[in-house]
Amino acid sequence: MGRNYFFYVAVLLTTAITVGSLISLKKGLEIGVQISDKILHASGYCLLTISWLLAFRPKTYLWKSLVLVALAVFIYGIIIEILQGVFTYSRQADFYDAFANLAGITMATLFFAIVLKKK
């Protein structure tokens, strides 16, 4: 798949996470299954990190790129948490959400590094 495709997917996921994180919900998210929101955070940020790693996968400086993308996604997650606390009335900034985001980012980065190491 072309690099542009991955870039568009990464932008779409970033936009979806931003909107989903900043809209105010009168009721909780009702999906019919009890899932911890920390699992949703970790999964979402894992997918987000993988999408950005695929979009910017360079031929050289692999480790530097992995660290920079992971750091950028983590900072984005912190900014989203702060914005939730400032601009929404039904959501709050949560340290544990940021930790779950970091767990997802770490899983994605390790997965990406292991897969590329095998190639």
pLDDT in tens, 17-63: 999 888 876 655 555 545 678 898 999 999 999 999 988 876 666 78
pTM: 0.84
DSSP 8-state code for residue 52: H
In this model, does residue 91 exceed pLDDT 80?
A: no
Give residue 43's domain range: 3-118
The total number of structural domains that make up the chain:
1
pLDDT band at 119 (very low <50, low <70, confident <90, very high): low
Q: Which residues contact 104 (CB under 8 A, 6 or more apart)?
A: 41, 42, 43, 44, 45, 46, 47, 48, 49
Question: How far, in Å, CA of 50 to CA of 47, rounded?
Answer: 5
Q: Which residue has the tokens 């699992």?
A: 39
